[in-house]
Amino acid sequence: MFKFLAKKSRFFWVSTVFFYSFSSLGFSNDEDVLVDPVVLTIPKPSVGIETLLSTRDPIQPIPANDGASLLQVIPGFSVVRKGGVGGDAVFRGLAGSRLNFILDGMEFLGGCGLRLDPPTAYIFPETYDSAKLIKGPQTVRYGNGNSAGVVLFDRSAKKVNGLRAESAVTAGSWGRKDLLAVIEYGSGLMSFEGDFSHGESDDYKDGNGDEVHSAYERDSGSMVFGLQPADDFNVEFDVIVSEAESSNSDRNVDGSLFDRTSFGVLLEKGGDSSKLSLRAYTTAIDHIMDNFNRRTTTNCGSGTDNRCVLMNVARQTDGMRIGLALHVGESAAVNIGADAKQDRHTSRNFMNKSRAVASAFDSAARIKDFESEMVGAFLEVDLTVSENAHVISGVRTDYWNSSRFQNVGNTNTQSLFLGDDDQSLVSGFMRLEITDPNRIVNGYVGYGISERPMDYWEATTFNGITAGDVVNIQPERNHQFDVGINISSENFSSNVSLFFSDIDDYMLTVDAATDSVTNVQVERWGGEIDMRYDVSSYSSLFGSVSYVSADNETDNTPLAQTPPLELQLGLDHSVNEWSFGFLARYVDTQTRIDAGKGTVVGFDRATATPSFYTLAVNAGFEINSQSYFSVGVDNLLDEDYFEHINRTNSSAITGFITDNTIGVKEPGMTLWLKAGIEF
């Protein structure tokens, strides 16, 4: 308890001192309106293969305070719910190492063997400026394995002149409180950005009025310090420190510690015609899960009440990326580069101990149980074939190796080598893109191949590598066609993105006494359609459809963990400073299931997932060009439901729902208010 208070005050004092020291300095009179009261329910159609989100817009339904939840506003995304925060983002049914997250050029994985902490659990969305999704295997610049796509969370160096600050507060049902504070300073020679964020919530109640074990508390602080000694030379240093704890409904332990510490450096030399960049970073993740700090477990106490469990896992990731962007002649833009990362995972586990023994975890050694290296090189070329037609293509090769060790008998005293594997991998793509702002119809068509090795979870939790140096799975290879059509006329716009994919050696996980993973042949197709029609200059109607069909052709079954058909329909209306919105969401039943099979983030249950619909309303008010507030009611009809893409509810939490045949329930009717101000 005291440790917790001490931690909280550390962040509180840092942020307070931070703000007061700057508030006396006088702010710039930047006229740009960066705050936007209009509540985002479906992102506006974008031209091309990318979808861009502003991370600071009010969003409905109100996202949890993490990266996965923010992305859920993009049609095609689902989130595997584990509690109130820290869900796993899934795009078109693919997650984990099939969907890369690059945070300010950093790539790292969480520590938890059961994915309590996907990389997005360490993202405090508002402390970044934007999130960009590139769909499909249609880029090779951002690491290995983005077969579903890649998501880039970035802090754009805003190049402010003078001082600028921004703050936002959010309050909502179930004790939800978020605070964001951003300060930026820029002169010709130097720049600074500091971000602080806090998020917390109590246990929420589902539509049936039952409490869901889901409370959380999160804090983060980050700083970027930049120097521009010359017009064509930029140096940045960055630091991120974050901590969190969360209750979880889908398992027998809670996350009582999620600590991240990252340091990075960026060097950029050159201008528009050619630019050399170097990014180097190091990230340390420290995570504890246990069954007594945030819940009551029977027979977990002192002496012979030795049913206490505590696992402390950690991962150290070091990486770098070097790139050269240059124009060759009039028509070719080339990106060539290389990246490398290595990570080392340790654990110290206390299984079925007394509370005193488990709580003394800090005196045990951390035992290495996994290490991995990946080195890659890429070439991507954007060729202008006519004024508005581009052919973009790329090729990438990676070398990967990993070794698995065992913390022998969970004694935390020795590490036993089990086995290793190494692979050389090749990925590539080619895409024709028509992007002419004067045309009504634009679009792209592309083909890509992405190849990835087993990840940490497939190698260890699911035993891809086992004792005696046995390697049980082959790398997975996705072949995918991507087609997109964008229509935009005076009062109508629409975006259609379709994909057709064959995956060789898809790594299918199997839930059993000893979890395993096996290679199968998979065929998938689907996509998203969104549209917007301006009924008048004040009102717009909009909607979206997303659907994926996926089959496991080896076993002649549906592919497990495939999201069902989803429809959204909404209305926006704005009058002067006010905006109003309405959103209806319908999610179909999912009967195409394969019980006990899935991915590293979830398994199908034995029964079909029921359909559901939700309604939500919102309003926004622009107080002046620098401040706003928005209010919303999510799940207006208090619908009692859970999503198909889900881990199964745990039955073991005293005082909570005990039905472990259903998924973790979503929140019931939720009220929220968000206010933002810019100086």
Please report how many Cα atoms fall inside a 13 Å half-sphere around the Cα of residue 48, on the Cβ side: 18
Among 64, 79, 112, 266, binds Cu ion (CB under 5 A): 112
d(CA 125, CA 128): 6
Task: Kindly tell me which of 86 and 453 has the beta carbon lying closer to Cu ion.
Answer: 86
Contact segment (CB under 5 A) with Cu ion among 38-46, 109-117, 193-201, 602-610 equals 109-117
For residue 35, list its beta bridge partners: none
Residues 535-564 that bind Cu ion (CB under 5 A): none
Task: Kindly tell me which of 112 and 587 has the beta carbon lying closer to Cu ion.
Answer: 112
What separation in angstroms does the CA of 615 have from each of 45, 58, 626? 22, 17, 30
Q: Is 408 helix (H, G, I), strand (E, B) or coil?
A: helix
Contact segment (CB under 5 A) with Cu ion among 286-294, 547-555, 600-608, 621-629 equals 286-294
Task: Kindly tell me which of 105 and 118 has the beta carbon lying closer to Cu ion.
Answer: 118
Task: Kindly tell me which of 119 and 484 has the beta carbon lying closer to Cu ion.
Answer: 119
Backbone angles phi, psi at 379, to 5 degrees: -140, 125
Cβ 287 to Cu ion shortest distance, Å: 5
Reading the block at residue 58, the tokens are 């009010």
Please report how many Cα atoms fall inside a 13 Å half-sphere around the Cα of residue 308, on the Cβ side: 23
Cβ 497 to Cu ion shortest distance, Å: 34
Question: Which residue in 252, 114, 161, 223 sits closest to 599, CA to CA?
Answer: 114
The string over 474-498, giving b where at least 16 C-beta atoms fall within 10 Å of a residue's C-beta and e elsewhere, is ebbbbbbebbbbbbbeeeebbbbbb
The string over 213-235, giving b where at least 16 C-beta atoms fall within 10 Å of a residue's C-beta and e elsewhere, is bbbbbbbbbbbbebebeeeeebe
Task: Kindly tell me which of 289 and 374 has the beta carbon lying closer to Cu ion.
Answer: 289
- Amino acid at position 286, single letter: D
Q: Is 419 helix (H, G, I), strand (E, B) or coil?
A: strand
Task: Kindly tell me which of 114 and 168 has the beta carbon lying closer to Cu ion.
Answer: 114
Contact segment (CB under 5 A) with Cu ion among 69-77, 104-112, 262-270, 590-598 equals 104-112
Cβ 115 to Cu ion shortest distance, Å: 8
What is 324-381 written as a DSSP string? Answer: EEEEETTTEEEEEEEEEEEEEEEEEEEEEE-HHHHHTGGGSPPEEEEEEEEEEEEEEE
Contact segment (CB under 5 A) with Cu ion among 113-121, 123-131, 207-215, 527-535 equals 113-121
Residues 416-435 that bind Cu ion (CB under 5 A): none
Residues 335-394 that bind Cu ion (CB under 5 A): none
Contact segment (CB under 5 A) with Cu ion among 9-17, 147-155, 283-291, 472-480 equals 283-291
Cβ 311 to Cu ion shortest distance, Å: 6
Residue with tokens 């300060």: 183
Task: Kindly tell me which of 289 and 508 has the beta carbon lying closer to Cu ion.
Answer: 289
d(CA 500, CA 505): 17
For residue 287, list its beta bridge partners: 258, 313
Using CB positions, name the residue nearest to Cu ion: 112
Contact segment (CB under 5 A) with Cu ion among 110-118, 358-366, 408-416, 438-446 equals 110-118
Q: How many residues bind Cu ion (CB under 5 A)?
A: 3
Task: Kindly tell me which of 112 and 168 has the beta carbon lying closer to Cu ion.
Answer: 112
Q: Does 289 bind Cu ion (CB under 5 A)?
A: yes
Task: Kindly tell me which of 67 and 105 has the beta carbon lying closer to Cu ion.
Answer: 67
Cβ 289 to Cu ion shortest distance, Å: 4
Question: Which residue in 669, 545, 547, 674 sits closest to 615, CA to CA?
Answer: 669
Contact segment (CB under 5 A) with Cu ion among 223-231, 284-292, 375-383, 652-660 equals 284-292
Catalog residues that contact Cu ion under the rule CB under 5 A: 112, 116, 289
